[in-house]
Structure 1
Amino acid sequence: MRLLAGLVAGLLLCACTSTPAEDEPSSAPPEQTSSTPSGENTDGDNAGGEPDATPTSQAPEVVDPVSLPALMSKEYDGRGLRLGQVRERTASYTSYQATYRGDGLRLSGVLNVPTGKGPFPAAVLAHGYIDPAIYRSGQGMTRERGVLAEAGYIAFHVDYRNHGGSDRDPDAELDLRLGYTTDVINAVAALRRWDGPIDPDRIGLVGRSMGGGVVYNVLAVMPGLVGAGVAFAPVSSDAVDNFNRWTRPERSETAAAIIAAHGAPERAKRFWRQISPRTYFDRISEPLMIHHGTLDDSCPIRWSGQTVAALRSADKQVRYHVYEGEQHAFGPQFELSMRRTIAFLDASL
Structure 2
Amino acid sequence: MSHPYSEQVLRTRLGPTALLLVALTACSADAPAEPRGATAPPSAPPSAPAAEPTGTGPGAGTDAEPGPDAGTDLPPVASPVSLPAVMREEARGELGGSRLRRGEVLETTDAYTRSVVTYRSRGLTVSGVLLRPRGEGPFPGVVLNHGYIEPSAYSPGQGMAREQDHLARAGYVVLHTDYRGHAGSDPASDLDLESRLGYARDAVTAVRSLAREPYVDDERLGMVGRSMGGGVTLSALVIAPGLVDAAVVHASVSSDYVDNLRQFTEPGRPDEAAELYAELGGPPETNPEPYRQLSPRTYLDRITEPVLALHGELDETCPPPWADATQRALTGAGVDARLETYPDEGHTFYAGWRSMIERTDAFLTARMGAA
Same-fold call, TM > 0.5? yes
Structure 1 distance, partners of 2:217, 2:329, is 32
Indicate the residue corresponding to 1:18 in structure 2.
none
Structure 2 distance, partners of 1:185, 1:126, is 10
Residue type of the partner of 1:202? R
SS in 2 for 1:229: strand
What are the equivalent positions in structure 2 for 1:263-274 lying under 5 Å apart?
263-274=282-293
Judge conservation of contact 2:131–2:175 (CA < 8 Å) in 1. yes
1:135-160, Cα deviation, whole Å (9 max, x unpaired): 11111111101100000001100000
- From 243, 252, 265, the equivalent of 1:234 is 252
Residue 86 (structure 2) pairs with residue 71 (structure 1)? yes
Indicate the residue corresponding to 2:219 in structure 1.
201
SS in 1 for 2:225: strand
- From 112, 119, 126, the equivalent of 1:93 is 112
- From 327, 333, 341, the equivalent of 2:352 is 333
- From 111, 123, 126, the equivalent of 2:145 is 126
- From 235, 241, 244, the equivalent of 1:217 is 235
Structure 2 distance, partners of 1:329, 1:104, is 34
1:161 to partner: Cα distance:
0.4
Indicate the residue corresponding to 1:35 in structure 2.
14
Judge conservation of contact 2:9–2:337 (CA < 8 Å) in 1. no
- From 251, 258, 274, the equivalent of 2:269 is 251
SS in 1 for 2:153: coil
1:292 to partner: Cα distance:
0.5
Taking structure 1 as reference, are residues 142 and 30 closer, same or farther at Cα in structure 2, changes over 3 Å only? closer
1:37-92, Cα deviation, whole Å (9 max, x unpaired): 9xxxxxxxxxxxxxxxxxxx942122321111111110213103111111111111
Judge conservation of contact 1:66–1:175 (CA < 8 Å) in 2. no
Indicate the residue corresponding to 1:47 in structure 2.
none
Structure 1 segments unaligned to the other structure (5+ residues): 3-28, 38-56
Structure 2 distance, partners of 1:292, 1:253, is 31
SS in 1 for 2:152: coil
1:103-160, Cα deviation, whole Å (9 max, x unpaired): 1111100000111121100110000000101011111111101100000001100000
Structure 1 distance, partners of 2:121, 2:108, is 28
- From 60, 67, 76, the equivalent of 1:61 is 76
Judge conservation of contact 1:172–1:178 (CA < 8 Å) in 2. no
Indicate the residue corresponding to 1:179 in structure 2.
198
Taking structure 1 as reference, are residues 193 and 255 closer, same or farther at Cα in structure 2, changes over 3 Å only? same
Residue type of the partner of 2:260? N
Q: What is the identity percentage for the equivalent residue pairs of Structure 1 and Structure 2?
A: 48
Cα RMSD for the two superposed structures: 1.9
Residue 128 (structure 2) pairs with residue 109 (structure 1)? yes
Aligned length: 304
Residue type of the partner of 1:104? G
Structure 2 distance, partners of 1:226, 1:172, is 27
1:305 to partner: Cα distance:
0.6
Judge conservation of contact 1:32–1:319 (CA < 8 Å) in 2. no
Structure 2 distance, partners of 1:174, 1:72, is 17
1:210-258, Cα deviation, whole Å (9 max, x unpaired): 0000111011111111111110000000000000001111111111111
Judge conservation of contact 2:140–2:171 (CA < 8 Å) in 1. yes
Taking structure 1 as reference, are residues 213 and 174 closer, same or farther at Cα in structure 2, changes over 3 Å only? closer
Judge conservation of contact 2:191–2:272 (CA < 8 Å) in 1. no
Taking structure 1 as reference, are residues 174 and 119 closer, same or farther at Cα in structure 2, changes over 3 Å only? closer
Taking structure 1 as reference, are residues 165 and 279 closer, same or farther at Cα in structure 2, changes over 3 Å only? same
